Amino acid sequence: MHEYSIVTALIEQCEQLAANNNATAITRVEIKLGILSGVEPSLLATAFDTFKLVGICRDADLVMKLQDLVIICNDCGKQTEHKQRNVLCGHCMSSNTQVLDGEDMMLMQLELEQL
């Protein structure tokens, strides 16, 4: 289950950002999670709840914004958004497409507390 290693890296990144900003606590962690990221949202949430128990993230809520798959067709030039793993153009049904968004997991925002 690679979600545990992902959460470990996420919490380390949060701790570093909190230290850089002299924060004493993190109350909210917002991430963008793409459909093609290879990360299962429910497993990620469970891993976050497990690993946040000790440290600056212990009271943090994890907010996941699921990113649709956004592709552009190399044949007709049109852009399509899919809510599922589908790389076919929604206009001409070509498979000659390029992914523009929906492959990544990104830390988008932290809410920090300072003394």
The answer to whether 57 is annotated as binding is no
The answer to whether 92 is annotated as binding is yes
The total number of residues written for the chain in this structure: 115
| CA distance linking residue 70 with residue 37, whole number of Å | 13
The answer to whether 73 is annotated as binding is yes
φ, ψ of residue 55 to 5 degrees: the values are 115, -170
H/E segment holding residue 42: helix 41-51
Q: Binding site: which residues? A: 2, 73, 76, 89, 92
Q: Binding site for Ni(2+): which residues? A: 2
Q: Binding site for Zn(2+): which residues? A: 73, 76, 89, 92
